[in-house]
Amino acid sequence: MGKETKISWTNSTYNPWRGCIKISAGCKNCYMFPNQEHYGFNPHEIVRTGKPVFTSPLRWLEPAKVFVCSWSDFFIEQADPWRAEVWEIIKRTPHLTYQILTKRPERILEHLPSDWGEGWPNVWMGVTIEDTANMGRAAILADIPAKLRFISYEPALEYVDFAPIFKTGKFQWLVSGGETGKEARPA
């Protein structure tokens, strides 16, 4: 099985690349930045991981939920050269349920595989909404075909009314949580 995680809503993480660029208020105290620095990596540099990590799901035999890019964003522009290979790995491992979460939903549609159709059954597509200023991310994802759409309300920076979004029937799951770490802001 892949790397165990303390993230309560998944079983494992899969990071074919690491590093990110902050784009919204929820990024301010992102756990990824100090975690990568702890391991001696530059969190501001987007780099492809080595082959053993990049291809690791091909060796996972047991069904599991897998959070993709917990140390980056699956749709970050700098990863465009590598994404097609990850889609191929996802396609070859239908026993794994991939949870792809992004703050860049405007890039999803143009970076889906050609045989995506109405979505692959083993891919859940999600957006992060940390405040009302970023509610538009849900509207973008709602128009993208997916077998399951979800929202990550993490870090919850202010009250957000998700009822109108879920009344559309286009979203099936909501995860929520506050910010962690010594610089954490109260919700």
State the Cα torsion 65-102-131-185 to the nearest 10°: 70
pLDDT value of position 54: 98
pLDDT value of position 1: 39
d(CA 61, CA 53): 15
pLDDT value of position 187: 63
CB 126 within 8 A of CB 101: yes
Buried residues in 68-105 as b, exposed as e (16+ CB within 10 A) = bbbbbbbbbebbeebbeebbebbeebeebbbbbbbbbb
Question: What are the sequence ranges of the domains in the chain?
Answer: 3-176
- What pairing do the DSSP bridges indicate for beta strands 96-102 and 12-14? unpaired
Phi, psi of 27 (to 5 degrees): -80, -15
Low-confidence stretches of the chain (pLDDT beneath 70): 1-3, 181, 187
Tokens of 172: 């099936």
pLDDT value of position 183: 76
d(CA 69, CA 72): 5
pTM (predicted TM-score): 0.94
pLDDT value of position 11: 94
pLDDT value of position 182: 72
CB 150 within 8 A of CB 129: no
Lookup result for tokens 């303390």: 6
CA-based nearest residue to 181, from 159, 162, 154: 154
Lookup result for tokens 């962690």: 180
d(CA 14, CA 67): 6
152: left (phi over 0), alpha (psi -120 to 50) or beta: beta
pLDDT value of position 179: 73
